[in-house]
Structure 1
Amino acid sequence: MKLRSSEWFENENAELTFQHRTAMRAMGHNPDTFVGKPIIGIFNAWSDLNSCNYPHKEFVEYVKRGVLLAGGYPIEMHTISTPSDFMKPSDLLYRNLLSMDLEESVRSQPIDGIVMLCECDKTAPGQLMAAASCDLPALQFAAGHRKSGTFRGKTVNYGTDLWKYSDDYKAGLLSEEDWKELETSISCSLGGCPVMGSASTMKGLSEMLGMMLPGTSSIPATDSRRKIAAEATGMRIVEMVRENLTPSRLMTESAFNNAIKLLAAMGGSTNAAIHLTAIAGRLGIRIPIERYEELTQNIPLIANLQPAGSYSMDDFHKAGGLRRVIHNILPLLDQDCLGCTGETIGEIYGREMPEYESSAEVIASLETPFKARAGLAILKGNLAPQGAVIKKSAVSPHLFKHRGQAVVFESYQDMLARIDTDDLEVTEESVLVLKHCGPVAMGMPEWGSIPIPAKLLRQGVRDMVRISDARMSGTSYGAVILHAAPEAAVGGPLAIVREGDWIELDIEASTIRLDLEDGEIAERLAAWQPPKPQHKRGYPRLFADHTLQAPEGCDLDVLRPGSKEDAVFVPPIVGRG
């Protein structure tokens, strides 16, 4: 086979070949050792501000070793990092920037195959979007999840337990001393959140899509088997280059359907509805938002993991991890889809698995699931004509059908200023409404899990209906309606909701409705004025001008091909730079 990198290093133009080889020699790369071998770009996204991705500073060396052992040549490269804890107001817009960073680095340089080192929430989907656009052989390798912490003799997990203890602190059930001790003990190691949040969700979906070696997505960051998996990833990508096993052969429409079913079965993050749609869109595959509900009507929750369940990712790994989940739901999947080993997923995950002690407490069967209600409900109605999402497995049962009056916050700042005041007119029957947090307004931050007002927390209230055009952390829980589209900033009906309006939610019927006459809604919308843009220049301005709405994946319109035929990676003309 002719390698892509040969255009640079074995070009018929002797001057170009000379220029490129001598540039490699300047960095200590001898052409005798790499010309004719697959050159593997290893894209690293660690930084000193990203505790989730930080282990890749070490793991990259094991990937390199695997590449060398398989007869390839590793080149380490770097992209921007997306630490969810620090990127404000939102890391979602930088997901797209990361994907552009990676795609253009690959497009313009002598790379034959790609290994993408991921973990923190937007790193994984951003890399998969880039891999889809490049369509060169590619694999992901995750850093793994961090250990659970301990607080006052109890296991605590960064993410889900943070939100629970935060409510207790605001309710006066946790002292200042307790709160300070929790800070020192809830997150004491490197790696992703140890629950089924967005990071764990996207790693699992990557494996399901064939973009991560089977059985590797749920290994802990501190487990030595992750180093072995890193080496195996490096070895396999070289073989995939020789086989020309590209993302478009793995991430087919059927594979995305499988991923949506897995998302429901493992109680994954609502963010996945945005990410899967964006990844598929890069391949010219459209996922209508309704599909997230249609494909999962009969799929129960079989992973008993926080936030929808009780256990941590450590428990999940001990119980057999993602391999067991896919094995258990295999009858519901298209088993002919290819995995990155070149085998079908039926062959990969259909093999008999040993039973582990107490594994059934963490990963159930289809016959005896933890919850019958799983997956995402796609809510439509006059309040969200293009749809909104809610995670059924995280909703308190008594709120599946609800009618309440709106308590309206015009912005996140407005919400912060008033949510915990004693004079806020709110009851547990109220519906909290937060506006102007969507992709155009703010880059769609994780502000959708509106806090329960402090005075209700003191009364013992722990869940109530909330709606916004924002996202929420995959580690959060509750009756939280998200991604309302169109968003308020572009004139979606959310923009005209007023204090005291009645809102009706019916999850079983998949509806969310503002109880107003059509004429009143039309009159309010006609009088609506768009808000001033938050950003005047730079990438945030570019994002706001070109982002698609949540049901289309919040990708930039200029990165989305119009059809499968348009989803063609155009290489550069190799000449003088």
Structure 2
Amino acid sequence: MTKKTPSTPDIEATGLRKGLTSYGDNGFSLFLRKAFIKGAGYSDEALDRPVIGIANTGSAYNPCHGNVTQLIEALKRGIMLAGGLPMDFPTISIHESFAFPTSMYLRNLMSMDTEEMIRAQPMDAVVLIGGCDKTVPAQLMGAASAGIPAIQLITGSMLTGSHRSERVGACTDCRRYWGKYRAEEIDDQEIADVNNQLVASVGTCSVMGTASTMACIAEALGMTVPGGASPPAVTADRMRIAEMTGAQAVEMARSGLTIDKILTADAFENAMRVLLAIGGSTNGIVHLAAIAGRLGLDIDLKTLDRMGRETPVLLDLKPSGQHYMEDFHKAGGMATLLRELKPRLKLDALTVTGRTLGEEIERAGPGFRQDVVKTMDDPIYPQGGIAVLEGNLSPGGAIIKQSSADPGLMEHEGRAVVFENAIDLANRIDSDELDVTADDVLVLKNIGPKGAPGMPEAGYIPIPKKLAVKGVKDIVRISDGRMSGTAFGTIVLHVTPESAIGGPLAYVQNGDRIRLSVSKREISLLVSDEEMQRRKQASPITPPTADRGYKKLFLDTVTQADQGVDFDFLRAVRPDLPPSA
């Protein structure tokens, strides 16, 4: 047996021997690396263990990740108990309310940061700590591209608060109370009072917004330990999940369970099924498309809609239902939901435990009586939460969260009231001079991936104040942007192609008639093809550009909503699959 010396590092390239800095002498590179890390007090015995990287997304600007310090402590405990060496490192952290111009604009940057730091630093596996909306998809995108064993640790949801004996939680109740305030149903003092109660602890939104959606999707994909989606941020259950995650990361490093073995076509089908059944955020579609694209796979909207017709909403959570994430956790979390969905799932899909999803469902046991997850025979909503629309207004597809829309507006024809961009909307939406009725259709242009840029959540167009004070609670709204998963209403989103690149939405004019038929999956502009062609010739569209920096990279390479709003050069090419697979 050959004795190993600093001049003959392991050819297997594990632990500290992975990704040696280029000094032209690998032996010296390892010698220097060990010298510096020993300066932090590490022993040779510690340095010989599997190295588990921990992507640390703690930030004073991110209260959704306010428990990261405690999570890292529990992670390190689990890693060391399992015989690994934990090494936490910082990455970009994004919070919805603290990111200008919008968090989606920075998601791809965070994914690149995550990918490159995984590649640049020696680790045999990585734990991804994410919670707030864009952090989990950014981490899964980056880890999928990096290709090593990876496991997701969700930060967890916030606790609910109480306003005048009414239970409240961010952020569906944020929007509900703000709507009351705009309608002059409550005064300045009450809106200030409720502001103190909406977020009762650190953690992500307590309803089925994008953060909770991505937590559930991460578990459905097999990327968390069983039960990893639902424990609230400040509970002992969340800390135990962190410890389990650390131990599992060591096992994955030893077994070589890389992320591509988990994020398969079957895993994405399971994720789509869960997205529909939980009444999940419309943003989940965009993020799934981006993650799948990093593996050379597509999320087909027609398939999603077909699945939606046979997959009812089972989870009674706001905004589609009444409960909160802490209730879902007490009801058994994802195990309860997956048990009910089992006949429609791809049970052979592998998870981070090395077992299949079907095996994990069986290991979770028979379940118990609860009232948060409904049965297939008695659902919250008879179809999936999201429907895919097509028509001449959106040739590439659009979506609507039908489970949180007004049933009376699902089949509707109305006059278009057009806003050219977000600034135009802000300037005129509350004007008494705005020519609008409750039967009209509000149209907002130029808030898509390139138009804003970054596809902000401005698709949740507020009810015009002149209508709100008269008691109007919903109106049909259409845009090429997104809305928060915590939002509700009859809102058509992700119109593709977007107006900023010359999609049909760009040519809608005030007074045009628009028809929405959710039953027929239709969104149509009732204008002749000849008239549309005349408008296009009269007003050609020039896509926005930038001279330098990240904005230039974004505008030059970002894809449309159906491709995940990722950068085109980050998509994987699969030689084993046809281009459309």
- TM-score range for the pair, normalised by the shorter chain length: over 0.9
- Counterpart in 1 of 2:476? 465
1:448 corresponds in structure 2 to 459
Match of 1:509 in 2: 520
Match of 1:219 in 2: 231
Moved more, 196-205 or 416-425: 416-425
Counterparts in 2 of 1:535 and 1:175: CA distance versus 1, 3 Å: farther
Q: Could you tell me which residue of structure 1 aligns to residue 163 of structure 2?
A: 151
SS at match of 2:495: strand
Shift of 1:297: 1.4
Per the alignment, residue 411 of structure 1 pairs with 421
Task: State how 1:140-219 maps to structure 2 within 5 Å.
Answer: 140-219=152-231
C-alpha distance in structure 2 between counterparts of 1:486 and 1:210, whole Å:
32
> In the TM superposition, what is the alpha-carbon distance from 1:354 to its structure 2 partner?
5.6
Q: Does 1:559 align with 2:570?
A: yes
Specify the alignment match of 1:436 in structure 2: 446
Deviations 1:30-87 (A, max 9, x none): 333212x211110011100101012112211110111111111111101111110111
Alignment of 1:92-131 (within 5 A): 92-131=104-143
Q: What is the distance in 2 between the residues matched to 1:51 and 1:188?
A: 11
Contact 1:273–1:292 (CA under 8 A) maintained in structure 2: no
Report the Cα offset of residue 115 of structure 1. Answer: 0.2
Q: 1:366 to 1:351 in 2, by over 3 A?
A: farther
Give how far 1:562 is off: 2.7
Q: Tell me the residue number matched to 2:360.
A: 348
Q: After TM superposition, give the deviation of residue 376 of structure 1 in Å.
A: 1.7
After alignment, is 280-289 or 526-535 more displaced? Answer: 526-535
Deviations 1:348-375 (A, max 9, x none): 1134646555x12x11011211110323
Q: Aligned partners of 1:558 and 1:399: how far apart in 2? A: 40
Aligned to 1:523, which of 523, 530, 534? 534
In structure 1, how many angstroms separate the alpha carbons of the residues matched to 2:365 and 2:555?
48
Decide whether the 8 Å contact of 2:413 with 2:513 is kept in 1: yes
- Tell me what 1:25 maps to: 38
Task: Name the structure 1 match of 2:555.
Answer: 544
Separation in 1, partners of 2:300, 2:197: 42
Match of 1:74 in 2: 86
- TM-score, scaled to structure 1: 0.95
What SS does the corresponding residue of 2:245 show, helix, strand or coil? helix
Residue identity in the other structure for 1:173:
E
Pick the aligned partner of 1:258 from 242, 264, 270. Answer: 270
Q: Is the 8 A contact 2:126 2:249 kept in 1?
A: yes
- Structure 1 runs, 4 residues or longer, greater than 6 Å off: 9-12
Question: 1:267-346 maps to which residues of 2 (within 5 A)?
Answer: 267-346=279-358
The match for 2:436 is: 426
1:197-247, CA deviations, whole angstroms, 9 ceiling, x for partnerless residues?
Answer: 000000110011111111121001111111111111000000011111111
Aligned to 2:27: 14
CA contact (8 A) 1:284 1:565 kept: no
Distance 1:564 1:334 in 2: 24
Name the CA distance, whole Å, in 2 between partners of 1:356 and 1:155. Answer: 25
What amino acid is aligned across from residue 83 of structure 2 in structure 1?
A: G
Deviation at 1:160, TM superposition (A): 0.2
In 2, distance between residues paired with 1:13 and 1:249?
31
Deviations 1:319-368 (A, max 9, x none): 111211111111111111112111111111134646555x12x1101121
| Correspondence 1:230 to 2:247 | no
> What CA distance in whole angstroms lies between the structure 2 residues aligned with 1:235 and 1:566?
35
Contact 1:491 1:528 in 2 (8 A): no
CA drift at 1:529? 3.4
The 8 Å contact of residues 285 and 564 in structure 1, kept in 2 or not, is answered as no
Distance 2:367 2:122 in 1: 46
Residue 397, structure 1, aligned to residue 397, structure 2: no
Task: Give the Cα–Cα distance (whole angstroms) in 2 for the partners of residues 378 and 163 of structure 1.
Answer: 25
**Residue correspondence of structure 1 range 366-405 to structure 2 within 5 A:** 366-405=376-415
Mapped to 1, the partners of 2:248 and 2:293 lie a distance apart of: 26
Counterpart residue number, 2:55 = 43
Partners of 1:89 and 1:46 in 2: CA distance: 21
Inter-CA distance 207–564: structure 2 relative to 1 (3 Å threshold):
farther
Letter paired with 1:398? G
Q: Secondary structure at the match of 1:485?
A: coil
The match for 2:7 is none
Q: Within 1, Cα distance between the matches of 2:26 and 2:64?
A: 45
Partners of 1:45 and 1:53 within 8 A in 2: yes
In 2: Cα distance, 1:3 partner to 1:241 partner? 12
Q: How far, CA to CA, are the matches of 2:167 and 2:449 in structure 1? A: 36
Measure, in 2, the Cα distance between the counterparts of 1:564 and 1:278.
19
Q: Deviations over 1:136-155 (max 9, x none)?
A: 11101111100111111100
Unaligned runs of 5+ in 1: 568-577
**Does the C-alpha gap of structure 1 residues 236 and 50 become closer, same or farther in structure 2, counting only changes over 3 Å?**
same
Pair 1:262–1:564, CA change in 2 (3 A): farther
Amino acid aligned to 1:518: D
Q: Deviations over 1:92-126 (max 9, x none)?
A: 12111111001111112211100000100000000
Distance in structure 2 (CA, Å) of the matches to 1:33 and 1:43:
20
Match of 1:482 in 2: 493
Letter in 2 for 1:23: F
2:64 aligned counterpart, secondary structure: coil
Amino acid at match of 1:26: G
Contact 1:8 1:17 in 2 (8 A): no
C-alpha distance in structure 1 between counterparts of 2:280 and 2:93, whole Å: 23
RMSD: 1.8
Which segment is superposed worse, 371-380 or 273-282? 371-380
CA contact (8 A) 1:139 1:237 kept: yes
TM-score, normalised to structure 2's length? 0.94
The one-letter code matched in structure 2 to 1:16 is S
2:72 counterpart letter in structure 1: V
Q: Report the Cα offset of residue 4 of structure 1.
A: 3.3
Distance 2:465 2:19 in 1: 63
Residue in structure 1 matched with residue 6 of structure 2 by the alignment = none
